Amino acid sequence: MKDTSTARDADGETLETVRVWDPLLRLFHWSLTIAVVGAWGLGKFGPDIMTLHFYFGYAVLGLLAFRLLWGLIGPEHARFSNFAYGPGKIARYVGRIFARRPSYWRGHNPVGGLFVFFLLGVLAVHAGTGLFADPEDYINVGPLAGWVSNDGARTALSWHAMLSWVVLGLVALHIAAIAFYKKWKGENLIRPMVTGRKTVRKDG
């Protein structure tokens, strides 16, 4: 990668600061944050007529479609194959996760990669069920509710409501992980998602 700088940590390990996160991935990340928070807040505290909630939901689905594409054809660290780790590597990383030093991992670490897959899957199902949900108020009806039976629409509504709390829990877990890495491991995970640059172990 271009635009790199090198240094050594306290243990003498050679490090380099490189560009890891591409601009489109960073734009996706922050746009998804806004869309999810906006949809969740409007769903719980918004007006009775939930037009804006629907728009934010459509934005989430559009962003997820982009992420699926980018996970297949995007730059190295954006691709799903780059952070689809096996159980062994995940277990080994978990065994060292409480060490009080930065991980210096290129891209998503094994636990972070697993979380990304789970979060994207939950968001897809959550937003998808909203398309079929019908609260029977004749106003806030999902655009695809007519494609399923009344029982199907009610089931979609129930899943949509339940998954909203799962999404909240995952967001809280994500924030807690960022705080853990910052305070315990001395690793800032937010700055790389803003600048694209991350300090990692030097290859070779």
DSSP 77-120: GGSGGGS---HHHHHHHHHHTTSSS----SSS-HHHHHHHHHHH
Q: Which residues pair with 200 in a beta bridge?
A: 16
By residue range, what is the domain housing residue 49? 24-98+107-186
Task: Please tell me the distance from the alpha carbon of residue 195 to that of residue 190, in angstroms, as a whole number.
Answer: 9
pLDDT at 128: 98
Confidence at 204, pLDDT banded by 50, 70, 90: very low
Number of structural domains in the chain: 1
- How far apart, in whole angstroms, are the C-alpha atoms of residue 193 and residue 11? 26
Which residues lie below 8 Å from residue 97, measured CB to CB, with a gap of 6+?
103, 111
In a domain? residue 198: no
- pLDDT surpasses 60 at 135: yes
Question: In this predicted model, what pLDDT tens digit does every residue of 79-115 receive, in sequence order?
Answer: 999 999 999 999 999 999 999 999 999 999 999 999 9
Q: Is 16 part of any domain?
A: no
Structural domain contains residue 15: no
* The pLDDT value given to residue 81: 97
Position 2 scores a pLDDT of 47
197 in any annotated domain: no
Q: What is the reported pLDDT for 188?
A: 95
In a domain, 64, yes or no: yes
pLDDT (average), residues 58-69: 98
So what's the pLDDT on residue 11? 58
pLDDT tens-digit map of 139-198: 999 999 999 999 999 999 999 999 999 999 999 999 999 999 999 999 999 999 999 999
The 10s digit of each residue's pLDDT in 11-46 is: 567 899 999 999 999 999 999 999 999 999 999 999
Largest CA distance in the chain: 66
Is 202 a member of any domain?
no
Q: Is residue 9 part of a domain?
A: no
Confidence (pLDDT) at 6: 59
Global pTM value: 0.91
DSSP 185: S
CA distance readout (Å), 114 to 16, 94, 119, 174, 183 = 25, 12, 9, 12, 22
Q: Identify the pLDDT of residue 4.
A: 56
Residue 63 lies in a domain: yes
The CATH number of residue 81's host domain is 1.20.950.20
